[in-house]
């Protein structure tokens, strides 16, 4: 009799535990998605952006290579943004252009114009985990980060560098992604990620991105520096914004892949 009573209690406890665990998981997923959508909403409405940036590549031995480029971003309602990066310096990469058409759910469309061979190369979705111009930034990093492309989960309310943040996990829906998951610290004031940990397909920590030097332009907080450190190769790359303007009127024709080589 005691044995049956004990078994019944154990069954009830396990059932209740599994129910609570499932409810918490659903709640954490809902909260993670809600945060991601709030971040997207707060950062929408800038219309167009023009900026100049410096990219610095540092190898494992500490040798540095510097590159300068200009960037344009056109916001699209109901879809991902489109962007065009053009390298200005050094001479061996001058004129190289990268065009990205982001999408909410579908694979992003990306093209790279290489002036040395006067050819526009379409970036295959299978190659988006590859290095962008030898840096620790991948083509995937420069593409769409739309909430619809990830499964989200809130992990904790956790501070970072003295700032109040949400710590969330996001898992790409695309099985061809270079990442198995990402962990983000989203600043509650900036409403942007201030740190991202990227895990490779094996689940190991691949690299860490740290976002610093925030400035407010109109109603929007924008980062001034991104430092991407590869934990496996000890290489790192940084992007530093030298100038940035928001609310710029841009023509969609400037983002035509057929005109990329002109």
Residue 16 banded pLDDT, cuts 50, 70, 90: very low
- What are the tokens at 155? 């992990």
Question: Which pLDDT score, from 0 to 100, does residue 8 have?
Answer: 55
CATH topology for 41-259 is outer membrane lipoprotein receptor (LolB), chain A (2.50.20)
pTM, two decimals, is 0.88
Question: Which pLDDT score, from 0 to 100, does residue 13 have?
Answer: 56
- What are the tokens at 40? 């997207």
**Mean pLDDT estimate for the chain:** 90
Residue 12 banded pLDDT, cuts 50, 70, 90: low
Q: Residues 207-224, buried b or exposed e (16+ Cβ, 10 A)? A: bbbbbeebeeeeebbbbe
The rounded distance, in Å, linking the Cα atoms of 234 and 208 is 11
The rounded distance, in Å, linking the Cα atoms of 169 and 29 is 9
In what helix (H) or strand (E) does residue 168 lie, and over which residues does it extend? strand 165-172
Taking a C-beta distance cutoff of 8 angstroms, is the pair 142, 100 a contact?
yes
* pLDDT at residue 14 greater than cutoff 70: no
Residue 127 banded pLDDT, cuts 50, 70, 90: confident
Question: Which range has the worst mean pLDDT, 3-12, 48-57, 177-186?
Answer: 3-12
The rounded distance, in Å, linking the Cα atoms of 61 and 235 is 8
Average pLDDT over every residue of 246-258: 92
Question: Which pLDDT score, from 0 to 100, does residue 52 have?
Answer: 98
Question: Which pLDDT score, from 0 to 100, does residue 20 have?
Answer: 44
**Long-range contacts (CB closer than 8 Å, 24 or more residues apart) made by 221-226:** 221/189, 221/190, 221/191, 221/192, 222/192, 222/246, 223/192
What residue spans define the domains of the chain?
41-259
Between 232 and 262, the higher pLDDT residue: 232
Question: Which pLDDT score, from 0 to 100, does residue 75 have?
Answer: 94
User: Which residue from 204, 85, 174 is spatially nearest to 135, judged by alpha carbons?
Assistant: 85
What is the gyration radius of the CA atoms in the chain, in angstroms? Answer: 22
Taking a C-beta distance cutoff of 8 angstroms, is the pair 242, 221 a contact?
no
* pLDDT at residue 19 greater than cutoff 60: no
pLDDT for 204-217, tens place per residue?
A: 999 999 999 999 99
Average pLDDT over every residue of 112-141: 91
| Percent of the chain's residues with pLDDT above 90 | 77
pLDDT for 71-99, tens place per residue?
A: 999 999 888 899 999 999 999 999 999 99
Average pLDDT over every residue of 221-247: 97
- Identify the residue whose tokens are 């520096």: 225
Say if residue 90 is preceded by a cis peptide, omega within 30 of 0: yes
Question: Which pLDDT score, from 0 to 100, does residue 21 have?
Answer: 47
Residue 120 banded pLDDT, cuts 50, 70, 90: very high
Question: Which pLDDT score, from 0 to 100, does residue 18 have?
Answer: 46
**Residue 221 β-bridge partners:** 216
User: Which residue from 105, 97, 94 is spatially nearest to 123, judged by alpha carbons?
Assistant: 97
- What are the tokens at 26? 């659903």
């Amino acid at each position: 009799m005691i044995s049956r009573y004990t078994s019944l209690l154990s069954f009830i406890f396990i059932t209740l535990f599994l129910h609570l665990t499932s409810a918490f998981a659903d709640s954490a997923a809902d909260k993670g998605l809600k945060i991601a959508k709030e971040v997207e909403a707060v950062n929408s409405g800038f219309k167009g952006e023009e900026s100049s940036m410096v990219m610095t590549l540092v190898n494992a031995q500490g040798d540095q290579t510097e590159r300068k480029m200009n960037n344009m971003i056109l916001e699209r309602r109901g879809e991902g943004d489109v962007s065009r990066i053009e390298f200005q310096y050094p001479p061996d990469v001058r004129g190289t252009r990268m065009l990205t058409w982001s999408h909410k759910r579908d694979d992003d469309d990306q093209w790279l114009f290489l002036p040395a061979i006067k050819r526009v190369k379409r970036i295959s979705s299978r190659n988006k985990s590859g290095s962008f111009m030898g840096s620790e930034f991948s083509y995937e990093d420069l593409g769409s980060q739309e909430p619809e492309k990830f499964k989200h989960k809130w992990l904790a309310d956790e501070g970072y560098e003295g700032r109040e943040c949400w710590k969330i996990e996001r898992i790409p829906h695309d099985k061809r992604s270079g990442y198995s998951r990402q962990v983000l610290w989203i600043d509650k004031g900036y409403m942007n990620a201030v740190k991202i940990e990227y895990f490779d397909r094996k689940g190991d920590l691949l690299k860490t991105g740290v976002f610093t030097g925030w400035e407010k332009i109109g109603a929007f907080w924008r980062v001034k520096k991104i430092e991407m450190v590869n934990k496996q190769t000890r290489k790192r790359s940084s992007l530093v914004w030298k100038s940035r303007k928001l609310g710029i009127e841009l023509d969609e024709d400037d983002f035509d892949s057929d005109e990329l080589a002109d």
